[in-house]
Structure 1
């Protein structure tokens, strides 16, 4: 699986890339049909400190693209929540694939 990272209004971070790679490799070990992943880190100016750090994950799987987005006060929290959301989508996709 190839992982592409994109940053908007944020400088590139090897630590964030390492965290994202670790989470996505765990998903790839469990769901071997993942082809590629795109991870986006964005920073927006907001009025509250609890939001503004956005992480988006887009997974390419056969037949469709899975997408999740999370907006929190820290990129680590946003990454964890987005990974959890995409994991649920992967579970549903795998169940549908097994029924056919």
Structure 2
């Protein structure tokens, strides 16, 4: 699987990048039909103390899988987004028919 990671209005965070790559690699072991992952980390000024956003879009058979989370750090946002992606992948896998 090809992974594209971008940081928008934020400094590059190697820890968050490493977390995402590690988790996406583990997902690839279970879901070998995922083609590409586009990961975008954004930083927005927010009055609630959050503002670290992680968006992940997966290209795979069927509709694109997308998840986003807004947390206080990129690491937490990445972990939450991966959880959402994994739930969607499990649902997609249960709906797929073997031909």
Aligned structure 1 segments of 4 or more residues deviating by more than 3 angstroms? none
Question: Which consecutive unaligned segments of at least 5 residues does structure 1 have?
Answer: none
Residue in structure 2 matched with residue 46 of structure 1 by the alignment: 46
Partners of 2:71 and 2:39 lie apart in 1 by 16
TM-score (norm 2): 0.93
Residue in structure 1 matched with residue 2 of structure 2 by the alignment: 2
Residue in structure 2 matched with residue 55 of structure 1 by the alignment: 54
Partners of 1:12 and 1:46 lie apart in 2 by 19
RMSD across aligned positions (CA): 1.3
Deviation by residue 1:40-79 (Cα, 9 ceiling, x = unmatched)? 0000001121x10000011111122100000010111100
Residue in structure 1 matched with residue 70 of structure 2 by the alignment: 71
Question: Which consecutive unaligned segments of at least 5 residues does structure 2 have?
Answer: none
Residue in structure 1 matched with residue 27 of structure 2 by the alignment: 27
Partners of 1:2 and 1:76 lie apart in 2 by 21
Report how many residues are paired. Answer: 99
Residue in structure 1 matched with residue 80 of structure 2 by the alignment: 81
